[in-house]
Structure 1
Amino acid sequence: SPKIALALVAMKYVFHSEAMHAHLQTAIRTLKELPREEAESFITETFIYLKALIPSKEKEELKMDFIKTSEAYGYETIAEAEEKALAAKYEEGRDEGIEIGVEKGIGIGMERGREEGREEERREIAKALKNNGASLDLIANVSGLSEEEIRNL
C-alpha cells in the first residue's frame, strides 16, 4: 500500500537524505490512491516522525517537499498539522492539570469538612455540658472553646 511504501522509505533512508528525496517523491505520488483524510493524516504523521530524526540542515528541504505535496493535493499544510499536534498536546496537558487540580481541591475540601465537623462536635459537647450545669472553666478545658464562645452557645 502507499502508506507502507512511504513509511518504509522514511525509515530506510532517514539518515541518507539524497536517497530519501529520490524515493520519497515516488512514494508520495502514490498517496493519491488513498482517501483524502487518510493521506492527509499519514503525510502529517510521517513529516512529524521524520522531522524528529533527520539532521536540521535537511529539515527545511523535507518540509518544502511535504508542503509541495500538501499543496498539490489540497491537504492541510505542515504548519497546520504541527499546530494541531501542539494543540492536542496542550489539551492533553490541560486536561491532566484540571484533573490534578480537582483531586487536590477535593482533598482540601474533605480536610476542611473534617475540621468543621470536629469544630461542630466540640460546640455540641460544650453546649451539652453547659445545659447540664458544668462550670465554664471545665467546659473550656474539655472543648477547647473560649469562655466567651461557651456563653454564646
Structure 2
Amino acid sequence: MNGVNDFGERLRKALKNAGYTQARATEELKLSKNAMTNYVNGRIPDATILYNLSKLLGLSMEYLLTGKETKARQQTTDDSIPDSNSFGKLTDDEIKVLTLYRQLSNKDKAKIEGMLEMKIFESQESKKVESSIFPTGEGAASKEKKHA
C-alpha cells in the first residue's frame, strides 16, 4: 500500500491510530463533513489542508501522500537537526525569502510550508516519471535544451 492512490486508506488508519474519529478531526480542522468523506475516500486535499492534517496526526505530508518517509525524515535524533552554521552563507534570494516569511502570521507560514512540501513532492514525482521515460538521461537533457 504505497502511493498517492492509497491516500484515503492511509488517512483512515492515521485517524484511528491518533485516536480521532472522522467527526472529531472534521470539527478540529473546521472542514465540512463532505470534505472529510472525500479525503478518506481518496481525494487529495489542497496543500493547506494536507499540512493541517499532517500536524493534527503527527505525520509528515510526504507520508500521508506516499506512505513513505525520506531518510532525513526518519532520523529522529537531535543531531539530525541542522544548526544555523550548517547552511553556510545565505544567498540574496534566500535572505529575501526569509525576510518575507518572517512577516507572515503563523497560519500563513503553515500554508507556505505546506505549499513548499507539495512542490518538492511534485518535483520528486516528476523526476521519477522522467527517469522511467528517459532512463539514460539523454532524452531529458535534450528536452531541457529545447525549453532553454
Task: Bin the TM-score by the shorter chain.
Answer: under 0.3
Larger radius of gyration: 1
Q: Which has the higher contact order (CA 8 A, sep 6+)?
A: 2
**Greater fraction of residues in helix:** 1
